[in-house]
């Protein structure tokens, strides 16, 4: 369960009881009533038919299209890109509540850390303003202006992306912003100024076009600079890793794309800042760029929160195809049905900027729509390396594809990829399945919560249960649908000796609800926000009964509890029977085994 250092859990519980997730979401995404729930087109991916549902009863949202789900707190964190405390503050303001702190106020260390972080953001914004001013006013700005005009950029696009100019000289920014020793230290911390071993400091960016890199909230966290002279190196220079900037998680242009487009049909990953900005000049607003690193799993998770289709744009030469293959390998663990990844290979000597100028927006976007799907790129690349007309070649094809397909998470997409490989290799799918199950894949390990195990055996005296899910899972889904059912469970500690997947989690939820019987589903989930179990719980919370009838729900829950009680009695009976085989039962245990036999078999 979550452990908050500053905001008391009791306050979070109270806040969740006062707010209505329908009001929170409807203020940002208009909802329509649909039966007992509310619906809208999902704000986290592009769709035409509404699949985003909000349950007033559970205080929980779920999208059947992209799988996004969570509480009101989680919605604000995703939709408005807020940190957890900021989401709490936002909801509390709307509810007319003041957020308290443990002990009455933050510690001096907390206040100092918060001030230091805000100071860094403020300083980066000042640097952003400074560079933009230099592009307007500096005596040597003309070289930068001419370069941007030569690339066909309008003043509107340059302003929208915050493009600026770092003038020549070793200490322009240092002198302007480093007006005190503490400020100079902050400039070093943010990577804007370099400190040598002898303590001397100088500006990192000099005589360069400056591109501010913004986080998902639009705050400037880093910069990229492009040279104005072909004699200078490197051509592109990025800020280093800092407390604000982690290049493996940030994407240039993502904030601007979300500002420009309400619905984002796709996002296209290109090589550099100028590609992003130049495409925007042609009203292609869905381009983003990584920042001196290959596309990571974190990048892809961010991209798929915004859209369901990602297109990688690479040069068509050998280096471009090698880079595309690396991107494919990194993408496999996040691929599933509902997501698309395509690869666009440019003609020799072209980049996105030159190609869109040579052709047109319509022709370029036609190329994007016709880009090669990940599945085709994977199988075509492997087929070219092997003679699929021969048994040896097809066997080698399977051997090469096996570790790649093993990285895919379970689901329809993985199964379709297996089917395609089976067709190419001309063997049964079951043989490929067997081979994949023998492949240890770090990329796939732990990607999905393990399904609940079925009961170890059928109940004595009757046919085997037709239920697919274990009684633990059945109890959890009903409990998350209606936490008030906990009152029907009795003392959950009696189940502590059971060895069943999920039993400890069920016991913990029941004990929490016994102590806090008024918790809603969302408040309950918030108590597990930092737990390893939260992903599994949120997935179970998306369950909906076929008929939402309180009496039926109660009956199903009590049946699951009764099944657990039977498991408990069976386990105790089995243990006593094993002990009796050695003649070691005490008089009390002999009485107990007779009672258990009567309960179980009569």
Q: What is the CATH number of the domain that holds 402?
A: 1.20.50
Cis amide leading into 445 (omega within 30): no
> 142-159: b or e for each residue (b if 16 or more CB lie within 10 Å)?
eebbebbeeeebeeebbe
Q: Are residues 282 and 226 in the same domain?
A: no
In a domain, 497, yes or no: yes
CA–CA gap between residue 593 and residue 582 (Å, rounded): 15
Q: Are residues 116 and 233 in the same domain?
A: yes
What are the CA-CA distances from residue 560 to residues 114, 172, 601 (Å)?
A: 48, 71, 19
Q: What is the residue-averaged pLDDT of the chain?
A: 85
The answer to whether 74 touches 62, Cβ cutoff 8 Å, is: no
Whose CA is closest to 184, among 207, 220, 192?
A: 192
At residue 136, the pLDDT reads: 95
In a domain, 462, yes or no: no
Strand 193-195 relative to strand 201-203, pairing: antiparallel
Overall average pLDDT of the 17-44 stretch = 89
pLDDT at 183 over 60: yes
Radius of gyration, CA atoms only, the chain = 30
Report how many domains make up the chain: 5
Query: Last residue of a domain, which of 360, 377, 394?
Result: 377
In a domain, 499, yes or no: yes
With bands split at pLDDT 50, 70 and 90, how would you rate the model's confidence at 417? Answer: very high
Query: Last residue of a domain, which of 393, 416, 437?
Result: 437
Query: Last residue of a domain, which of 103, 126, 151?
Result: 103
Q: Are residues 117 and 198 in the same domain?
A: yes
Residues of the chain with pLDDT > 90, as a percent, come to: 44
In this predicted model, which residue has the larger pLDDT, 379 or 104? Answer: 379
Whose CA is closest to 345, among 375, 313, 367?
A: 313
CA–CA gap between residue 476 and residue 524 (Å, rounded): 12
In a domain, 451, yes or no: no
At residue 3, the pLDDT reads: 39
At residue 491, the pLDDT reads: 92
Q: Are residues 274 and 362 in the same domain?
A: yes
In a domain, 448, yes or no: no
Q: Are residues 146 and 227 in the same domain?
A: yes
Q: Are residues 185 and 224 in the same domain?
A: yes
Overall average pLDDT of the 321-343 stretch = 91
Q: Are residues 478 and 571 in the same domain?
A: yes
Q: Are residues 355 and 264 in the same domain?
A: yes
Q: Are residues 538 and 571 in the same domain?
A: yes
CA–CA gap between residue 43 and residue 77 (Å, rounded): 13
At residue 485, the pLDDT reads: 93
Q: Are residues 488 and 587 in the same domain?
A: yes
In a domain, 344, yes or no: yes
Overall average pLDDT of the 56-61 stretch = 90
CATH of the domain at 52: 3.90.580.10
And the tokens for 210? 């400056």
Overall average pLDDT of the 273-292 stretch = 93
Q: Is 92 helix (H, G, I), strand (E, B) or coil?
A: helix
In a domain, 243, yes or no: no
Q: Are residues 334 and 287 in the same domain?
A: yes
**Which domain range does residue 21 map to?**
9-103
């Amino acid at each position: 369960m979550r452990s908050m250092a500053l905001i008391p859990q009791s306050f979070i519980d109270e806040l969740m009881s006062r707010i209505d997730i329908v009001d929170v979401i409807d203020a940002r995404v208009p909802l329509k009533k649909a039966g007992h729930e509310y619906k809208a087109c999902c704000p986290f991916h592009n769709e035409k038919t509404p699949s985003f549902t909000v349950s007033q009863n559970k205080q929980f949202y779920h999208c059947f299209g992209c799988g996004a789900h969570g509480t009101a707190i989680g919605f604000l964190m995703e939709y408005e890109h807020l940190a957890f405390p900021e989401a709490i503050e936002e909801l509390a303001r709307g509810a007319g509540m003041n957020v308290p702190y443990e002990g009455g106020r933050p510690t001096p260390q907390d206040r100092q850390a918060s001030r230091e972080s805000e100071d860094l953001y403020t300083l980066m914004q000042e640097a952003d303003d400074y560079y933009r001013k230099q592009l307007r006013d500096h005596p040597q700005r003309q070289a930068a202006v001419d370069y941007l005009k030569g690339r066909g950029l309008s003043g509107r696009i340059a302003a929208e992306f915050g493009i600026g100019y770092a003038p020549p000289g070793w200490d322009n920014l240092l002198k302007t912003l480093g007006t005190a020793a503490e400020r100079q230290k902050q400039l070093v911390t943010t990577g804007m100024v370099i400190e040598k071993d002898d303590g001397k400091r100088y500006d990192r960016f000099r005589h360069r076009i400056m591109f501010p890199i913004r986080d998902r909230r639009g705050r400037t966290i880093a910069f990229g600079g492009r040279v104005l002279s072909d004699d200078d190196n490197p051509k592109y220079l990025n800020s280093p890793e800092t407390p604000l900037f982690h290049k493996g998680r940030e994407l240039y242009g993502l904030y601007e794309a979300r500002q420009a487009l309400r619905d984002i049909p796709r996002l296209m990953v290109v090589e550099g800042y100028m590609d992003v900005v130049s495409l925007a000049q042609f009203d292609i607003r869905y381009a983003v760029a990584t920042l001196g690193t290959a596309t990571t799993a974190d990048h892809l998770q961010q991209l798929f929160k915004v859209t369901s289709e990602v297109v990688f744009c690479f040069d068509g030469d050998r280096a471009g195809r090698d880079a595309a293959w690396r991107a494919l390998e990194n993408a496999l663990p996040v691929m599933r049905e509902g997501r698309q990844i395509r690869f666009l290979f440019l003609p020799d000597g072209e980049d996105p900027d030159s190609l869109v100028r040579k052709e047109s927006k319509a022709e370029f976007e036609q190329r994007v729509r016709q880009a090669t799907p990940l599945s085709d790129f994977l199988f075509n690349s492997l087929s070219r390396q092997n003679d699929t007309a021969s048994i040896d070649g097809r066997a080698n094809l399977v051997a090469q594809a096996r570790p790649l397909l093993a990285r895919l998470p379970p689901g329809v997409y993985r199964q379709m990829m297996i089917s395609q490989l089976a067709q190419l290799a001309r063997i049964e799918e079951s043989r490929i399945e067997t081979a994949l199950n023998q492949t240890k894949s770090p990329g796939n390990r732990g990607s999905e919560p393990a399904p609940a195990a079925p009961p170890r055996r059928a109940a004595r005296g009757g046919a085997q249960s037709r239920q697919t899910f274990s009684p633990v899972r059945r109890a959890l889904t009903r409990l998350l649908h209606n936490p008030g059912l906990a009152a029907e469970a009795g003392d959950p500690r009696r189940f502590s000796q059971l060895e069943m997947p999920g039993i400890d989690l069920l016991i913990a939820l029941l004990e929490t609800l016994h102590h806090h019987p008024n918790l809603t589903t969302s408040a309950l989930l918030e108590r597990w926000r930092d737990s390893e179990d939260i992903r599994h719980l949120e997935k179970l919370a998306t369950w909906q009964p076929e008929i939402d009838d309180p009496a039926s729900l109660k009956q199903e829950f009590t049946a699951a509890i009764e099944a657990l009680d039977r498991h408990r009695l069976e386990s105790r009976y089995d243990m006593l029977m094993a002990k009796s085989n050695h003649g070691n039962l005490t008089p009390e245990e002999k009485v107990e085994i007779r009672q258990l036999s009567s309960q179980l078999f009569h």
